[in-house]
Structure formats: structure tokens, C-alpha cells
Amino acid sequence: MRVPLLRRTRPGIRGAGRIPPEPTPLDRGSLVHDSLESFYADLLSDTNGPVDLADYERADLEERLLTSVRTELDALNAPTDGAFGDRWLEQLLAGLSTPSKNDHYGSDHPHRGQDRGLFIRFLEYELGADDAVLAVEEPLDFGASGDEIRVTVPDGREVAIHGRIDRVTVEDDDGVAGIVHDYKTSDPTTKLTFDGVEFQLPVYTIAAQRELQKQYGEDLRYVDGGFYTVEPPAEVTRKRSLQKTIWRKDGDRDDFDRFLNRDIPERIADISDSIGNGGFHTTTLEADEAKCKHCQFRDMCGVRHHRRRERVAGVDDEGVTSHSGLGLTASTTTSGVTRRERPRGSREDDGRRRKRC
């Protein structure tokens, strides 16, 4: 027996199909980091010294930056089809070069789209800066023997630290001043650095200080470090540097030197000793603050919330900070500070080093 109602409704209202995936924040961070690296690496290949953007025509710079973004976007293989992908790319590329060369130049109606994307804002910001780019994506030893430096800790031991610096700039004004920039596609704060939670930036600064001392000798006044925010759709700014943060708290150059050359080595020694003694507790931070979701070891991490709380309580009872010698972020491993890497075999692993925001 046929059921007319069943026959009528059998086709039903079908689903709209699979919604195209959107690019992730990790995709965004990788594209921004890699594009800026590629852009300056191309310019550095033209000269034997630091790159001053004032030496170039703006149209040439815009076209070079657009080319770098396209190259890195192809290598990224992020899902950019559909309306979400178009909007994502427009936030990055709007206003860069010309409409004939840039398919995501932007809408004729700015209120409907993004008329000036992140990359053109970055270029304009850079053109207004006084410093020149000396190096990008540089290993900590600046290519001397590998990608590591050795930090001497208070008891005289040397601890190997691995990593790569996003970029180093120099400014020559009555002596050379160098600054390490760590790109962030988020809103970073130096507070966690001075609290002992993160120490990637000061380690980079120590490495750059050693190299620039070799290059400039007595002409080198100081080397500083700071976060450089490049956050879509429109945030481009250099955050207050480590040294200026200390000065703002009534510190001086000696305080800054002690922070780099005494406090940071002590922290590295604490972590190294804890690992060597088998008593290392991965983190005392909440999962969000520790950035656990970005860590390549998250699937085998031994941290348990109740143990973490017990550890924090125990450390606080001893009268010391719960971060001292304990907290590791996603950019550190048992072999020292490393560049952010992706777990092999994941969807995001495309054979290239990918960076998170």
C-alpha cells in the first residue's frame, strides 16, 4: 500500500550541503608572519646592509608585498573559497597595489567592505618608522653554527637555547640602537614576560645583543626588544618595548641589563634543573593562559587540573610566585626555547614551518 503523504514528503528539504571551512586564526598568523618575512627577505637580497624603505618607490614596495602574500597564500593552502574566504582576504589585501593586480583590492563602497587592509596599513606604518631592517627569521646564533645560543646560568653551566627571531632593526642616531621585533597577530602584553611566564622575547634580545656587538662594537648603544602587533583587520602597532617598560616603572639601563643578564638566566636555570631532576611541572597556569591548545605536546601532557591547583597552593605557601621556574608556554620544550612548530601529521602540517598567532 502506498502512503501518499510519504511519497509527497520523501524528497524533503535537503540540507544546504557542507559549509566551506573558514581559515583559522593559525592560518591567519602563518600567512601574516610568512608574508612579512618573505617581503623583507626579498628586499634584503638587494642590498648588503639594512633595508630602508625610503630608498624604494612606494608602488614597487606594494607590488613586492602583494607578490609575497600571494606566494605564501599558495603555500599555506588555507580554505579561502566562498564569501567567508573573500572577506578574510579582503581584510588583509584591500588597498594594496592596484585593482588590476589585486583581486581583493576592496569594494567601491567602503561601508560594505574593508577599504584598507592589514598589509597596506603595515607598509604605511613601516614607511613612517626611523629604523631599518637588518635581519628577518634569523636563527639565534645568526647562522654561526646552527640555530642555538648558549646561555650561562648562575652556577656556570651553559644551557642551549634554540629559536628564530622574527626580525631585527637598527637605528643610527649618535650611535647604533638595535631592536628585536616579535610579530603577533593578537594583542600581546609584556606583563607576562616580566612575571616570568614568557621569556621568548628577552632570549631573542640577548641573542641579538651578542650579534650586534660583534657587528658594531663600541658604536652599539643598546639592544631592546618589543612585540609588533599585526592583527587583522586594522591593528598595526609596535608595543612598548622591554626597556621602555622598565623605564616607565622608574627603572634605568642597569635594571634592564640585570633583567636580561641575571633574571632571565636564573629562570632558564630553574627550568633546566627541574627537568633534569624529573620534578618539572609543565605549567601552573590555566589552559587558556598557557596556550595549551597550540602546544604540540598537548595530547601527552601530564598536567591535571587538580594537580596544578595543588602545586600552585604549595608554591604559594612557600612564599614565592607560582610562575617561578615552572611555567612553560607552547613555545618552549625540554630542550629549551624553540620556534613555534606544528605537530607532524596534522591537517596544518604542509611541510613548511607554520607559526601561530
pLDDT, tens only, 110-134: 545 567 899 999 999 999 999 999 9
Concatenated DSSP letters of 270-331: HHHHHHHTT---S-SS-HHHHTGGG-TTGGG----HHHHHHHHHHHHHTTS-TTTTT---TT
Q: How far is residue 323's CA from residue 357's CA, in Å, rounded to a whole number?
A: 23
In 3D, which of 111, 116, 112, 114 has the Cα closest to residue 95? 116
Q: Is the pLDDT reported for residue 6 higher than 60?
A: no
Give per-residue pLDDT as tens, 72-110: 999 988 888 777 788 889 999 999 999 999 999 986 655
Ranked by mean pLDDT, the top range of 66-80, 133-147, 266-280 is 66-80
Determine the residue type at 8: R
pLDDT the model gives residue 14: 60
Q: What is the mean pLDDT of residues 149-170?
A: 92
**Of 298 and 111, the one with more pLDDT:** 298
Q: Is the pLDDT reported for residue 57 higher than 80?
A: yes
Burial of 355 (0-12, 13-18, 19+ CB in 10 A): buried
Determine the residue type at 65: L
pLDDT the model gives residue 9: 52
Q: What is the mean pLDDT of residues 4-11?
A: 51
pLDDT the model gives residue 183: 95
pLDDT the model gives residue 313: 66
Share of the chain above pLDDT 90, in %: 48
pLDDT the model gives residue 10: 54
pLDDT the model gives residue 110: 53
pLDDT the model gives residue 287: 73
Q: How far is residue 134's CA from residue 43's CA, in Å, rounded to a whole number?
A: 10
pLDDT the model gives residue 326: 30
**Of 289 and 184, the one with more pLDDT:** 184
Contact present, 34 and 69 (Cβ < 8 Å) = no
**Of 345 and 213, the one with more pLDDT:** 213
Model's pTM, two decimal places? 0.75
Give per-residue pLDDT as tens, 15-55: 555 655 778 888 889 999 999 999 999 999 999 889 999 99
Task: Encode 12-57 in three state secondary structure.
Answer: CCCCCCCCCCCCCHHHHHHHHHHHHHHHHHHHHCCCCCCECHHHCC
Domain borders along the chain are 25-127, 134-278
Q: How far is residue 243's CA from residue 227's CA, in Å, rounded to a whole number?
A: 12
pLDDT the model gives residue 337: 31
95: Cβ contacts below 8 Å, ≥ 6 apart: 105, 106, 115, 116, 117, 120
Pairing state between β 235-238 and 158-162: unpaired
Give per-residue pLDDT as tens, 316-352: 555 444 343 333 333 333 233 333 333 333 333 344 4
Q: Please count the other Cβ atoms lying within 10 Å of the Cβ belonging to residue 292.
A: 18
What does the longest C-alpha to C-alpha distance in the chain come to? 98
Arithmetic mean of pLDDT over the chain: 79
Give the range among 135-144, 163-172, 202-211, 326-335 with minimum mean pLDDT: 326-335
**Of 110 and 69, the one with more pLDDT:** 69
